[in-house]
Amino acid sequence: MTARATLPYGSWPSPISAADVARARLRLSFPTVAGDDVWWQETRPEEGGRTTVIHLRGGHRTELLQAPWDARTRVHEYGGRSYLPVRTGDGWSIVFSNYDDQRLHRLDEGDPKPYPLTPEPAVPAGLRFADYVLSPDRTELWCVCEGHIAAPAEEGAAAPADAAGIRRAIVAVPLDGSAATDAGAIRELVTGAQFYASPAPSPGGGHLAWVQWNHPRMPWDGTEVRVAAIEDGAAVAPRTVKGGLSESAVAPLWRDEESLYVISDWPGWWNIYQVGLHGESPQALYPAEEEFAGPLWQLGGMPYALLGDGRLAVLHGEGDLRLGIYDTDTLDLVDVEVPYRNWATQLSTDGTTIVGIAGGPDLPTSVVRVDTTTGRVEGLRREMAELPDVAYLSAPRTERLEGPFGRPVHAYVFPPTNPEAAGPEGELPPYVVFVHGGPTGRVSTSLDLERSYFTSRGIGVIDINYGGSAGYGRAYRERLRRQWGVVDVEDAVAAAQALVDGGIADPARLAIRGGSAGGWTTLAAVTQTDVFKAATSYFGISDLKSFVEATHDFESHYLFGLIGPLPGFERAYEERSPLNRADKTACPVLLLQGLNDPVVPPDQSERFAQALAEKKMPYAYLTFEGESHGFRKASTVIRCLEAELAFYGQTLGFEPRGVEPVALTVG
């Protein structure tokens, strides 16, 4: 065995390049199974982030949509499942939302080109569709529709989110294409609420269930599962069967024509209930301090599904979600023996087969098929075709740290790992605190080559699920209520301090980085404390007041819970905004921003850069044309990672290999 070279941390040679990380940004999502057929969405960074639909039949993969078709819905801007397979005679069609115009299109098997099902909207991309199901008679697509009406705004000013005139409904779209030239052919089934999700017709077609909520609540704050009778193709006499103002009820799944399953966090955790249609009390099926669902950021996913014998394929756990089978007769929940430790809330079943999206610390995220009869587990498609040598992959260590006032802070520690190199004796490595977005989100132990890009070079990572994160119950999520910019910052600092106190990290070489809401926490941390010596913000929020005025409708009232309602809490918005404390920034900052971001507008980064220039604090501000919220292009991912590595080298005192220095501006 070759002896490891002694090299300064951060300068280790690594086979994991930024281009490898970009290729690993292939995103697999929303699988569907029917017999031996499986479909899924595949988002490709090398094609500028285009999303296609893949059909697997008999072991043969077929790409159904060629460029420039892009199956991506923009409902709520975060979208979700953007296609639906439809049985047509002996073959299959798919219906999908095309990103460019947001119209629904249909592609029939054997046809060379899709054709539209919905009309050209008056406002470009102003009529959007998501969360599709077939109508009971299979002649229509029932789905969420989001309509945008243009509103005038003063020149050079951002229009408030509500001024966009956005209206949502659950609608019926004919599958024969008649609505492509006649908007009147689209029927409205359910109206009156501001947001909808998960339309679900009952097995016999007599009822329709769905989820709805209104501003200022987010779907993890308070939702209702409603049920209406279907009479002559219309939804009548709707009523709430679960949920409320302070209860998040999601994912209606019909058991039979008279009862359905619902997941509710009424006891403090998202647990499964059985609900009848005739006034019966909801019955908790498996009460546990575990989550059986996740936050509803995207539409079209399901955290559980019905098997052919009446059992339920479920996801459950604290933090990472594992796959289990729940028997409604014996009330037993048995985990399935699979090597994948974390599953996305995107299950589909048919008979004895389960398909989902899953990964693990040393397994790339994959489309996975499980046969519940034989126990056979197949990885059908991986986000990484080839893995680096496992010796370069840092194994996560799960930590439950102690934050301020004894509060627990959940985190995963990824130490520097490289079979070829070791740090000098007596030297402690630099560490970067990774802060996830959301903030109602979660980081998992699933393999992320972005973390390995740093750890294989001798830079440790601690990835935190700070207070407010999903996966640990409602009370943990609500620690961030009116405390955003306080609790998240305290928890990030506590994670860094725990590394220092444990003799794991060099206190003079601590960095923090995050995207979107994680970028906010990053900027808030370095304007409140001097713990960190470098900070990287990917499209982070710096000014709350202008963010509320300019962001999209889905999140336009999100800050009412995180900071406080407006009017009334103006002072808190001003005091917590990093932009208003930029003169207290304690370290150099790297700002990375897409110029077509509808969620966090570019001025959030630009104005903070200007404030750093006035303070004469070193910074770099890199912008990317054509990038939205969350970078999708391979070239952007490569540029950002190499700039970030170079930035840490320049600010934390090491010389990384193979990257050009980033130009830092001072004043």
pLDDT-derived band of residue 599, with 50, 70 and 90 as boundaries? confident
Looking at residue 265, what is its pLDDT?
98
Q: Which residues contact 161 (CB under 8 A, 6 or more apart)?
A: 549, 550, 551, 552, 553, 556
Looking at residue 156, what is its pLDDT?
33
516 pLDDT more than 90: yes
Phi, psi of 131 (to 5 degrees): 60, 65
Which tokens belong to 644?
A: 């970030």
Looking at residue 2, what is its pLDDT?
66
657 pLDDT more than 60: yes
Assess contact for 451 and 433: CB atoms under 8 A: no
Task: Give buried/exposed letters for 490-527 (b at 16+ CB in 10 A, else e).
Answer: bbbbbbbbbbbeeeebbeebbbbbbbbbbbbbbbbbbb
For the segment 626-647, what is each residue's pLDDT rounded down to a tens digit? Answer: 998 888 899 999 999 999 999 9
Assess contact for 237 and 228: CB atoms under 8 A: yes
Percentages helix, strand, coil for the chain, rounded to the nearest 5?
20, 35, 45
Amino acid of residue 650: Q
For the segment 156-182, what is each residue's pLDDT rounded down to a tens digit? Answer: 333 334 445 899 999 999 999 999 999
111 pLDDT more than 60: yes
Phi, psi of 559 (to 5 degrees): -70, -15
**Structural element, H or E, at residue 526:** helix 517-526
pLDDT-derived band of residue 296, with 50, 70 and 90 as boundaries? very high
CA 301 from chain centre, in angstroms, equals 11
Looking at residue 154, what is its pLDDT?
33
Task: Calculate the average pLDDT of the chain.
Answer: 94
Which tokens belong to 289?
A: 């301090």
Assess contact for 250 and 213: CB atoms under 8 A: no
77 pLDDT more than 70: yes
**Residue with the larger pLDDT of the pair 605 and 153:** 605
Q: Which residues pair with 33 in a beta bridge?
A: 38
For the segment 346-374, what is each residue's pLDDT rounded down to a tens digit? Answer: 999 999 999 999 999 999 999 999 999 99
For the segment 562-579, what is each residue's pLDDT rounded down to a tens digit? Answer: 999 999 999 999 999 999
Lowest mean pLDDT among 210-214, 403-407, 540-544, 651-655: 403-407
- Residue that the structure tokens 């980085």 belong to: 513
The span from the CA of 217 to the CA of 558, in Å, is: 7
